[in-house]
Every structure is written in structure tokens, then in C-alpha cells.
Amino acid sequence: MQLVIPNWHPIAIHFAIGMLLTATLLLLITSAVRDMSWAPNATLVARWNLAMGVLAAAAALATGYCAFSTVRHDDPSHANMVVHLRWAFGTTAAYSVVALLAWLDRRRRAGAHIALAGLSFIAAAFLIVTAWYGARNTYEFGLGVQALPDLEHHHHDEHAHAD
């Protein structure tokens, strides 16, 4: 029996990306509008997203390392995988520091200390760079896909697309 998903990295990483970017956005927004009635609740959601996002990032690192060790690849894709892996470790470390600082800043009712908000923004930039290298692994190098479409035998005029 052939697996549809040969590794779990594509599933694990999307949880981490969603939770960490949501946490960053909420921390930045609530830091700007501390006096809004919803800011304390949104700050709490941001802190929980940070905690769960760091756990999801650890799972993404583990599954990504398994993929790194098992997915067939050539030299150019290997070089990109190494850069992606290094950025992933750096991003996870940065968000781990953000999560720790958010925990230390937990007495603040709404928003975040300016240093925490700034570091969160930098960690989000790291995450975007990491995701870009990961996307290159799939969409440029074709890693982790079972088959690429045969474009030589595909002609748009032979079939219709639904409106």
C-alpha cells in the first residue's frame, strides 16, 4: 500500500505557521490598541497561540528532519533543504524566546512590551523566509511530490474548465 502522504511535515508546518503568525499579528495589534475592550482577550489568545505555535514548530522541525532524511533529492535541492533547515531552527529559537518573554510579560493586561512586539515581528520575518525556502523545496525542486504532471501532453483546448 502506497502512502498518500509520505511524510507529515506538510501537515505539521501549517499549524505552526498559522498559530505563530496569528500570535504576532495579535500582539502587534493589541500593543497598538491597549485600551480597547477586546484587547485583553486578544492578548490572551496571542499568548496561547505562541505557546501552541512553538510546540507545533517543534513538531514541524521533527517531521521536517525526517523528510530531510527520507525524501529523494539532488544536489541543488539538497542545498536549498539545508538553508531551509537552518532558517527553521533559527525561527523556532526566535519564537521560543518570544514565547518565554510573553510568559514573563503575562502580568501585562493587554498588548506586549515594545521589545517583545519587536522581537515577535522579527521572528515573523524569519518565519516568512523559512516558508519561502520550504515552498521552493516543493514548487521549484518538486520534493515530496509523487509525480509531476506531464505538460507535453496537456492542451487546454481539448477540455473545458468549469466557470
For 124, the grid coordinates are 515573523
Confidence of residue 1 (pLDDT cuts 50, 70, 90): very low
**Tens digit of each residue's pLDDT (9 = 90 or more) over 16-49:** 999 999 999 999 999 999 999 999 999 999 999 9
Look up the pTM and report it.
0.84
Is residue 50 within 8 A of residue 28, CB to CB? The reply is no
Q: At what angle do helices 9-32 and 114-139 cross, to 10 degrees?
A: 150
Distance CA 124, CA 32 (A): 17
162 in any annotated domain: no
Domain count, the chain: 1
The owner of cell 532524511 is: 69
44 in any annotated domain: yes
53 in any annotated domain: yes
Print the domain residue range for 117.
9-144
2 in any annotated domain: no
3 in any annotated domain: no
